[in-house]
Amino acid sequence: MRRPRLLILSLGGTITMVPAAAGAGGIVPRLGAAELIAAVPALSAVADIEAETPFRLPSPSLTPENLVAVARRIGAGFAAGCDGAVVVQGTDTIEESAFLLDLLVGGDRPVVVTGAMRGADAPGADGPANLLAAVRVAASAEARGLGALAVLNYDIHAARFVQKSHTTLPSAFASPLMGPVGAVAEGEPRFFARVARLPTLPADAGPPRPVALVKWAMGDDGRLLRTLPDLGYEGAVLEGMGAGHVPAEAAPLVGELAARIPVVLASRCMTGPVFTRTYAYPGAEIDLIARGVVPAGILSGLKARLLLGCALREGSGRDTVAGAFLPYR
């Protein structure tokens, strides 16, 4: 029986970090993909591995352009016969990276993103276990057709749902809307639920267009909104209150902005869909949709920003944007 062939791409992050120069304090990204793999001998029993290190960056410094390059490399790897891919990076932006790869890598072959909450030199470092679990998932036939996945702390999360929910715990990642789709137990990926594969967008179209993300707070009058187009933003995502609401006095400003650039309405809540037909008072979702905004569905503001940026590569019309978000309603 042919062994699975996997592509592992290391981008940096805590999983690759070791102490900085003597006396400097802290940890910095130093290890590459080959060193990570050498530290986990059990990987050789799972799959034939091709390892590359495109970047050595802490994850706050990763950009959508970096992830577009990663998506293209994965696409080339799949075209060359790889059965799956594992992307290793810092945890701060895993939920964004996983979702962007979910958008940009088509087909059924698994793309698994993983990292670590503890550095390579820390007692109880979780990087080796997370990497081994991610490789086992990427090599699993059952992982096909699920889109991009995030695997950490033995949990298997769908990219569209996963969120980082704690700053330090190894169990930091959760999918509060539906829970993990599976877990790695006794060295075997076990799937408890399956999610439908949603439409993908071409990686070759380039990076997402610039989109502002604005979280609404009590008492905010929306004065920032008028400045966004002049700052070069081609779209905006508003994280409204509750199910998608802003103060009544700010609603006209939202409408003015939606007449200039596409505006998507998400929620600042941790999870749950944006409403479309329940609240009719000024500033509520029915009013804002009538003023031209597009509801984000179940997507968080972070993920809605990426989808809007990718959709804007295809054109800036409201119908184009609304069509991109419709599968997430």
* Amino acid identity for residue 321 in this structure: V
- The DSSP secondary-structure symbol of 242 reads T
End-to-end CA distance of the chain: 42
Residues 97 and 225 both lie in one domain: no
| Angle of the 318-325 helix axis to the 301-311 helix axis, nearest 10 | 130
Q: What are phi and psi of 297, to 5 degrees?
A: 70, -130
- Give the integer Cα–Cα distance in Å for 296 and 325: 6
Asked, for residue 200, whether it belongs to a domain, the answer is: no
Residues 270 and 175 both lie in one domain: no
Q: Which segments of the chain have a pLDDT < 50?
A: none
**Is the whole model's pTM more than 0.85, yes or no?**
yes
Tokens for 88, please give them: 């290793």
CB 128 within 8 A of CB 163: no
Residues 41 and 174 both lie in one domain: yes
Residues 247 and 168 both lie in one domain: no
Residues 140 and 212 both lie in one domain: no
CATH of the domain at 155: 3.40.50.1170
pLDDT at 22: 62
pLDDT at 9: 98
Domain end call among 165, 191, 217? 191
Residues 106 and 179 both lie in one domain: yes
Residues 184 and 230 both lie in one domain: no
Asked, for residue 308, whether it belongs to a domain, the answer is: yes
pLDDT at 20: 74
Tokens for 198, please give them: 């949603």
Tell me: the pLDDT tens digits for 98-124? 999 999 999 999 999 999 999 877 888
* Residue 148 Cα to chain centre, angstroms: 9
CB 158 within 8 A of CB 181: yes
Asked, for residue 202, whether it belongs to a domain, the answer is: no
Domain end call among 128, 163, 191? 191
- Give the integer Cα–Cα distance in Å for 191 and 137: 10
CB 285 within 8 A of CB 245: yes
What Cα–Cα distance (Å) separates residue 208 from each residue in 114, 149, 177, 201, 306?
23, 21, 26, 11, 7
Asked, for residue 52, whether it belongs to a domain, the answer is: yes
Q: Which domain holds residue 237?
A: 208-328
Residues 6+ apart with CB under 8 A from 25: none
pLDDT at 315: 81
pLDDT at 24: 65
Residues 156 and 231 both lie in one domain: no
Query: Domain tally for the chain?
Result: 2
Number of alpha carbons in the 13 Å side-chain half-sphere of residue 170: 16
Helix (H, G, I), strand (E, B) or coil at 229: helix
Residues 150 and 39 both lie in one domain: yes
- Give the integer Cα–Cα distance in Å for 143 and 196: 12
Q: Is 93 a catalytic residue?
A: no
Known binding-site positions for substrate: 59, 91-92
Domain end call among 132, 157, 191? 191
Asked, for residue 51, whether it belongs to a domain, the answer is: yes
CB 246 within 8 A of CB 222: yes
pLDDT at 21: 67
Of 14, 16, 93, 114, the active-site residue reads: 14
Asked, for residue 92, whether it belongs to a domain, the answer is: yes
Residues 257 and 159 both lie in one domain: no
Asked, for residue 197, whether it belongs to a domain, the answer is: no
- Give the integer Cα–Cα distance in Å for 147 and 197: 6
Say how many C-beta atoms besides its own lie within 10 A of residue 249's C-beta. 11
Residues 179 and 217 both lie in one domain: no
CB 234 within 8 A of CB 138: no
Residues 123 and 39 both lie in one domain: yes
Residues 6+ apart with CB under 8 A from 262: 234, 235, 236, 294, 308, 312, 316, 318, 321
CATH of the domain at 321: 3.40.50.40
Tell me: the pLDDT tens digits for 241-260? 999 999 999 999 999 999 99
In order, the DSSP letters of 176-199 are: TTT--SEEEETTEEEES---PPPP
Asked, for residue 196, whether it belongs to a domain, the answer is: no
Alpha-carbon dihedral 97, 99, 100, 103, rounded to 10 degrees: 160
